[in-house]
Amino acid sequence: MSDKKKVIIIDDEPDIVTFLSVLLEDNGYTTISAKDGQEGMEKIQAEHPELVLLDITMPEKSGVRCYRELRENPDLKSIPIVIVTGVAKDFKKFISTRRQVPPPDGFISKPIDKQELLDTVSKFL
């Protein structure tokens, strides 16, 4: 069994998924991916990744809903979540100040800065 840490990339843009998968695997992580929040929730429950990279604007189930469900689920709420989004920067303050959920563990705006992403991921894994 691999001792590599597993990261799930939840994003509806295939180019972003490819970019992040290659970047993370080149840096010693193993990755799985999901194309929307719905599939993301199913894979998290099935595969228990150690970190979630979460897009916000997605079809089927938004990243906001996904974030809320993860934080409200006693079995999953301790998994660190880094939001990776192109939504306006004010969203960071918005989601970080909701009384219903704790602030995200990390927040990265698109376009993604490689080093910022790797530095953020390495804080949790």
Partner 1 sequence: MKNPVEIEDMSKGEGPLVHIRPEDQIPLPPPFDKIEEEPPLKPLSEGAAKNYECLDDTVAVSIPKPESKEEEERLVNLFLSGLRKLFNEKDNWTFLQPLLISLEHCAKCQTCSDGCPIFEESGRNSLYRPTFRSEVLRRIYFKYIKKSSKWVHGDIDLNWKTVSRLIELAYRCNLCRRCAQTCPIGVDNGLLAREIRKIASQEMGIAADELHKNGSVLQTKVGSSTGMNSLVVKDNIEFIDEDTSEKTGIQVETPWDKEGADILLIHNAGEILAWPENPGAFAYLFNAAGLSWTLSSDLAAYDAINYGVWYDDIQFSRVALLHAQAAKKLKVKKIVLGECGHAHKALIVIADKVLTGDLNIPRESSMTVLQGIVRSGRIKFDKSRNDFPVTLHDPCNMVRLMGIVAPQREIIRAVVPGERFREMTPHGVHNYCCGGGSGFAIMSGHNFADWRHHLSGRRKFRQILDAFQDEPMDKDHPKYVCTPCSNCKGQIRDIIKYYDAWEKAGIYYGGLVELMVNAAADTKPGYIDWEWH
Please, which residue, 2 or 100, has the CB nearer to partner 1?
Answer: 100
Find the DSSP H helices in 53-113.
63-72, 90-96
Residue 33 CA to residue 100 CA, distance in Å, equals: 27
Backbone angles phi, psi at 116, to 5 degrees: -60, -40
The answer to whether 31 and 25 are in contact (CB under 8 A) is: yes
Binding segment for partner 1 (CB under 8 A), chosen from 26-34, 42-50, 70-78, 85-93, is 85-93
The interface with partner 1 within residues 24-83 (CB under 8 A) comprises 56-65, 68
Chosen residue from 3, 74, 88, 111 binding partner 1 by CB under 8 A: 88
The count of residues interacting with partner 1 (CB under 8 A) is: 22
Q: Copy the structure tokens of residue 43.
A: 């894979």
- Contact residues: partner 1, CB under 8 A: 56-65, 68, 85-88, 90-91, 93-94, 98-100
